[in-house]
Amino acid sequence: MPTLSEQMDTVNRPDEWKIEQGMAAHKLPVLDQSGRDTFHIYPPELKRPTKDEEATASVGDRNKLFAREKEGWVGYVEWENYPEKKAQANKILSSQTFDPCSDFMFDPIPGESKFPRVEVTATIQCSGTRRIEQINLYGGQGDEVPQAPWAEGAIGTARYGGISLRKLIKDCGGLQEPAKHLEFYGADTYIKDLEAMNYVVSVPWTKVKASEVILAWEMNGEQLPKIHGYPMRLVVLGYIGARSVKWLYRVKAIENPTLAPVQSREYL
C-alpha cells in the first residue's frame, strides 16, 4: 500500500496550491476525473514570455504615446484617431510574447446589465448529518465516517447572492447536444482512503434550467467567507450539500452524471 505522500505525488500535483491561490492556472494541468481513471489535461504548450527591448525603446517616449486624453479615463486613448500612434503601439506589442490569460477571472462579475442578480435563502444540509447515529448503528463498516462524527449540526441556512448559472450558460451559447449534465470542480484537494483527488460532482441540466443552481459570491450580504467557498461557490437548491461546490474553478458540460469518486463512491 503506497504511503499517503506517495499517493499525493502520483495523483496530485505539488503545485496544486497555486491553483487554489489563483496563480499560474494557465501553466498547470487540470485533473480530469470524469471517467474511471484520472488523467491530466495539460494547457497548450507555452512560449516563454519574451521582449525585444530595442524594438520597444525605438518608439520613443511611451508616456506621450499613452498620454491620457480624458480626465478620469485612466489609460484611455482614442486609438482610431491616431494611425501613427497605433502603429507604434503595435510595434511594442508585437516585439513581445505574453503568457496567455489564466483560467481565472478575478475581475468583477458583470453586473445587473448582463446577468440579473439573484438572492436566495438556502439551507445546505450535509447528507452525513447525524452521522454519529450511523456510526453507532453500523460501527463495523464505519471505516472512514468516524473522521467526522458529528451529530445533527451539519446544516446551515444563509442568504446567498450571485447569479443563476442558467443565464451564464445561455450567454455562452447554451448547452449543446449531447450534454445533459454539468460537472463542477472545486479548487481544493480532497483526500479519502489515501487517495488525493479533486472535488468533482455533477448536477443535471434540468436542475440548472429550473434556475435552482446559483453561482454565489455573497453570503448574508457580505463577501463569501473562505471557509464557505470564496471567491465563488455553487448553491444547488434542494440537493444534498455535497453538490454545492465551494471554491468553484471549472464547469464542464457532460453527457452522463460524473463518475468522479466524490459523487460515484461517496455522496451518491
Ligand X SMILES: Nc1nc2c(c(=O)[nH]1)N[C@H]1C(S)=C(S)[C@@H](COP(=O)(O)O)O[C@H]1N2
Q: Which of 212, 241, 247, 262 binds Mo ion (CB under 5 A)?
A: 241
In the shown chain, the binding pattern of residues 99 to 128 toward ligand X, with x for contact by CB under 6 A and - for none, equals: -------------------------x-x--
Q: What SS3 state is found at 29?
A: coil
Distance (Å, whole) CA 7 – CA 1: 9
Supply the minimum distance, in Å, between the C-beta of residue 262 and ligand X.
8
Q: Which stretch binds Mo ion (CB under 5 A): 74-82, 134-142, 236-244, 256-264?
A: 236-244
- Residue 127's identity, in one-letter code, is S
Interface with ligand X includes 8 (CB under 6 A)? Answer: no
Name the binder of 35 from Mo ion, ligand X, none, CB < 5-8 A by kind: none
The site that binds Mo ion (CB under 5 A) totals a number of residues, namely: 3
Q: Are 219 and 237 in contact (CB under 8 A)?
A: no
92 or 158: CB nearest ligand X:
158
CA atoms within 13 A on the CB side of 94: 8
Q: Which stretch binds ligand X (CB under 6 A): 59-67, 68-76, 165-173, 242-250?
A: 242-250
Cβ-in-10-Å burial (0-12, 13-18, 19+) of 219 comes to: buried
Peptide bond into 231 cis (omega under 30): yes
Over the range 47-64, which residues count as b (16 or more CB within 10 Å of their CB) and which as e? eeeeeeeeeeeebeeeee
Interface with ligand X includes 263 (CB under 6 A)? Answer: no
Interface with Mo ion includes 261 (CB under 5 A)? Answer: no
Q: Are 52 and 43 in contact (CB under 8 A)?
A: no
Distance (Å, whole) CA 245 – CA 184: 7
The site that binds ligand X (CB under 6 A) totals a number of residues, namely: 14
Distance (Å, whole) CA 10 – CA 31: 12
Q: Which of 186, 197, 237, 251 binds ligand X (CB under 6 A)?
A: 186
Site of interaction with Mo ion (CB under 5 A): 126, 241-242
Site of interaction with ligand X (CB under 6 A): 124, 126, 156, 186, 188, 190, 199, 228, 241-242, 244-247
